[in-house]
Chains A and B, each alone.
Chain A
Amino acid sequence: MPTKIHPALIGFTVLVFFFLVGPLVIVLGSALSDTTYLTFPPQGISLRWFQNIFEIDAFRRTILTSLQVAVISTFVALLIGIPASYAMSRYRIQLPGWLSTLFVLPVLVPELVLGFSLLKNLAFQFNAPIFLSLIIGHTILILPYVIRVISASLASFDFSIEEAAISLGSPPLKTFFTVLLPNVRSGVIAAFILAFITSVNDVSISIFLTGPGISTLPIQLLAHMEQFFDPTVASVSVLLMVLTVAVMAIVERTLGLTFLAK
């Protein structure tokens, strides 16, 4: 028998979800407006502001940069995060306890501080290219997500399967790809998606690491908003929401969305 809930609480929750979804509907509506200024409800339906995104050079460039940074840093984070998670599950006794604390540090240290420190002590001090600094910053930002999600899937992995494969003569790398990786497949997909979306949306690190010719999409959006108040920003926002929906669909198909509520 389910617990009865007071109708006032249900009414309150309905309002909260209205509050959560409403503003995003407003952004969608404004993006479709045929006017040169932002308005809601939209006056006339048009897709011209979507077309406008790709006519502005800065948007084209920053969309490309954002995707490049997200793909590269997600790939690097998986490449170094999967072995690290594996080591922490498989060789726990060899490794010191502070290692797991080290890997949550990127969550504890404010992103702004990391971004500023990379600018000051890497890009400026050592003349490191801005793009490289962006990749380093984003990789560090998303590493904790990768390690947490992969470690969670490794927690239910039976390492004796792996030992069986090795004792039957399978070389270590082959064992990794044919035995371990398929078993944590869903974790890798979840980690990839969380990492990718976190990187694409990042403001606080990237805001310090933009230079001549290099900027990311969210930073370009901020800059555009300071000068113009037209529906372009709304239509870029809708593009980002479409990306989010696509990502959620992938998560839903592979893992079920309740996975994210843990």
Chain B
Amino acid sequence: MKRFAGWTLASPATLLVLLGLVAPVAATIYTTFGTPGGPFAPYLAFFGSGFRRTVLLRTINVSLAVTAIALFVGFITAYVVSRAPGWLKSILIIAAVFPLLTGVVVRSFAWLIILGKNGILNSTLINLGLITEPFQMLYTQGSVIVAMVYLFVPLMVLTLVGVLEAIPDDLIQASASLGANSWATFTQVILPLAVPGLIVGAVLVFTGSFTSYATPQLLGGEQVMMMGTLMYQQAMVTFDWVSASTIAAIMVVITIAIVMAMNAAARRLNPMTV
């Protein structure tokens, strides 16, 4: 009886994930191999279409840009937050958690107000006399990147604060007292110790951007189509479910490959494991 206690308790959750996630997703991917045109026909069609290749490349480019900016901004911010005195640190963490808990629709909507044709940024620039005609800022790659950076910086900061807090002040002071200037301390002490956190943060941000829907839909529209919006369009507008399933399969493979590669890299690069 006791031998099966573990399985008994874990089985409802196990069954739900197997039947509600693994089976349906596997079935979705499976259908892309059973089409009349041959086993790889949908993939050949995907990569054979210039438009879809552009969408895939754009999605990769946007996700890379967002990841790079979020790493840079998040790392500096997290470093300052991690060294802030206790009360200030709590306030700053609250200020980072709050946007994170606010939904993606609300946060993307904020950028619609800011970047719109009659939005805050355009009217400010016109009032200042810097431009005479409103700029087209919405529905550009730039607007998608800005809104996604906004979306993911809090996640990056919160991921890195924990890692950077774990670096003792003594270590930084030891480096200084041994003659390293602050740049050398930064690049040779702090940065290497933060690498595992940077990798986790980068994976979260890249996969999040790569598979996002609401932000590219609202700020990119038809002009800046990404994998998520293309998949939705294929599934729900043109009802081409084989094509949507193919995009789904490509997203799953890329996401899981990146997570596995980064896991391996994190294990190898972590200076704390010998």
Contact = CB atoms under 8 A, between A and B. Distances in A.
Report whether chain A binds chain B.
yes
Interface string A121-148: 1100000000000001101100100010
A257 B6 CA distance: 33
B110 to A, nearest CB: 4
A80 to B, nearest CB: 4
Interface stretch (B46-54, B247-255, B264-272): B247-255
Contacts of B81: 13
Contacts of A237: 102, 105-106, 109-110
A13 B77 contact: yes
Given A143-B16, A197-B101, A222-B105, A117 B248 contact: yes
A139 B20 CA distance: 9
B83 A3 contact: yes
- Of the four ranges (under 10, 10 to 19, 20 to 34, 35 or more), the interface on chain A belongs to 35 or more
A83 B173 contact: no
Interface residues of B, number: 87
B125 interface: no
Interface string B233-260: 0011000010011001001100110010
B169 interface: yes
Interface string B81-104: 101010001101111111101111
A116 B214 contact: no
Contacts of A64: none
Interface stretch (B23-31, B33-41, B60-68, B129-137): B23-31
A23 interface: yes
A67 interface: no
A147 B9 CA distance: 13
Interface stretch (A48-56, A157-165, A181-189, A240-248): A240-248
Contact of B14 (A102, A137, A207): A102
B20 A136 contact: yes
Contacts of B102: 24, 201, 237, 240-241, 244
A91 B112 contact: no
Contacts of A9: 76, 79-80
Contacts of B201: none
A6 B99 contact: no
Main secondary structure of the interface of B (DSSP, over half): helix
B16 A24 contact: no
Contact of A109 (B12, B172, B232, B255): B255
A110 B248 CA distance: 8
A252 B3 CA distance: 40
B14 A108 contact: no
A257 B93 contact: yes
B144 interface: no
A40 B252 CA distance: 41
B230 to A, nearest CB: 10
A109 B21 contact: yes
A155 interface: no
B200 to A, nearest CB: 12
Contact of B17 (A20, A94, A95, A140): A140
Contacts of A90: 6
Given A24-B98, A24-B99, A257-B97, A83 B105 contact: no
Contacts of B182: 6
B42 interface: no
Interface in A163-217: 197, 200-201, 203-204, 207-208
Contacts of B256: 108
